[in-house]
Amino acid sequence: MPQLSRRKKILFASVTCVAVFLCCEVVARMLEHWIPPIQIDYGLGFNEDSRLFILSDGETGTLITNPAKHVSFADQKFLKRKPADTLRVFLIGGSSVRRLEDLQLLKEKLEPSKSDTFRQIEIINAGGSAYGSHRLVKVLIEIINYEPDMVLIYCGHNEFEEAEQLEWAKLDLMGVNSTLSNSAAFRVFRDGIDRYRIHLIQTDRERRALATIEPSFQWAQGRPDSWRRGTFTDESARERLQSYTANLQLMVSLCQERKIPIIIGTVPSNLFPNQIWIEFPKKYRPDFDVIGDDYRSEKYKAASSRFREILSASPGRHQSSDLENQAIRQVAASTNIPIADVEAAIIAAEPHGVPGEALFDDHCHLNKQGNAILISVFADQINQLLKTTNRESN
């Protein structure tokens, strides 16, 4: 029997591989008719060409949320050229802003009719889940080109989580992954792995939520990865705070250069242990046992003060601390911009002055009543700016 030449062997092997790939591709595309592929934001917003809004194909001159960003941002739509009589307000921040779904309440609390310039209100939500100040600078650089009349900033929970996100983004592989995602077979394989990982995270979260333990802190082994791996040190924590402060200053500077009014809000954290979903380093367990006893004994001031100390000292925290709020107040004071003191308003509204007792859903997200307070505090500052602008124009 004659032997095939080396060239023919390579040719037949290549044809076989191509045939197998095409079969896999056809099957994968059929599967995607029943199970649509997951929208992937390659680069997670860290890449320089990341765009939150893109022009709509169906509506001329209309900007829509980039479909790749739907995993992190709300679906928004607005005209690129702002109507002359419209007050256009952008909100930027993390998931706490992303979750502000009842923006009609903010419109109702604003008073554009007192201004000779604005007759309509347009509020655009640019809050991104897990977005910290580093990526929010990129978002701001984009939105200041869309004729904002005002920018509201509310961020402080995600500074350490964003550092983890940068590690997960794998920017050096972004181009390869983006190219491979043109293949349905690759997408099906990729999505299968991602769905399995999501399932593990959800299962762990449900297990912790259903755990029958005393009202104290839940010591699970899941998050945050940074504490388990020791990613963050005291030194890196100081560097993150410095970066946060610098990013806030940069955002304020960018707006002031364009003469865009800007309001920055303080960011409260849940300090009430019954509702905490985040785990702290185990070395603090004895402290939290004492804190839990103090809360049960109604020693609210002592318990919340100690919690604040631990939160500020924890490198890798996934909620704002006194340090972030001090940076917010310092930046506002040094740049002479209004501050929406959401933290003070939440503390005043809580039954015993402890953030989290009644106005939070979890470790950092306000519930419906808490969000209504947040909106009211920002609305008061917006109305003050509108009055000032109206007086100056007259």
Sign, Cα dihedral of 355, 357, 363, 368: negative
Predicted confidence (pLDDT) per residue in 324-368, tens digit: 999 999 999 999 999 999 999 999 999 999 999 999 998 899 999
Q: Is residue 171 part of a domain?
A: yes
Q: Is residue 132 part of a domain?
A: yes
CA distances from 165 to 5, 43, 44, 49, 171 (A): 51, 9, 8, 17, 11
Supply 114's token pair: 């007192």
**What local confidence, expressed as pLDDT, does residue 156 receive?**
95
Q: What's the domain count of the chain? A: 1
Q: Is residue 372 part of a domain?
A: yes
226 pLDDT above the threshold of 50:
no
Which amino acid belongs to residue 112? P
Sign, Cα dihedral of 136, 141, 143, 148: positive
> Could you give the CA distance from residue 344 to residue 367 in angstroms, rounded to a whole number?
16
By the 8 A CB rule, do 87 and 118 touch? Answer: yes
Pick the range with the lowest mean pLDDT from 17-26, 82-91, 221-230, 294-303.
Answer: 221-230
pTM of the entire predicted model: 0.85
Q: Is residue 282 part of a domain?
A: no
Q: Which of 358, 352, 388 is nearest to 373 (CA)?
A: 358
Predicted confidence (pLDDT) per residue in 173-207, tens digit: 777 887 888 888 888 888 788 788 777 766 765 66
> Could you give the CA distance from residue 238 to residue 163 in angstroms, rounded to a whole number?
13
Predicted confidence (pLDDT) per residue in 48-106, tens digit: 889 999 999 988 999 999 999 998 999 999 999 999 889 999 999 999 999 997 788 88
Judging by DSSP bridges, how do beta strands 120-127 and 150-154 pair with one another? unpaired
Q: Is residue 333 part of a domain?
A: yes
Identify the band that residue 225 occupies on the pLDDT scale cut at 50, 70 and 90. Answer: very low
Question: Residue 374 belongs to what domain range?
Answer: 53-180+234-269+321-393
Q: Is residue 2 part of a domain?
A: no
Q: Is residue 90 part of a domain?
A: yes
Q: Is residue 208 part of a domain?
A: no
> Could you give the CA distance from residue 1 to residue 370 in angstroms, rounded to a whole number?
82
What CATH number does residue 103 fall under?
Answer: 3.40.50.1110
- What SS3 state is found at 87? strand
Supply 70's token pair: 């739907």
SS (H, E, C) 357-383: CCCECCCCCECHHHHHHHHHHHHHHHH
CA distances from 272 to 83, 210, 217, 269, 283 (A): 45, 18, 10, 9, 19
The whole-chain average pLDDT of the chain stands at 84
By the 8 A CB rule, do 173 and 191 touch? Answer: no
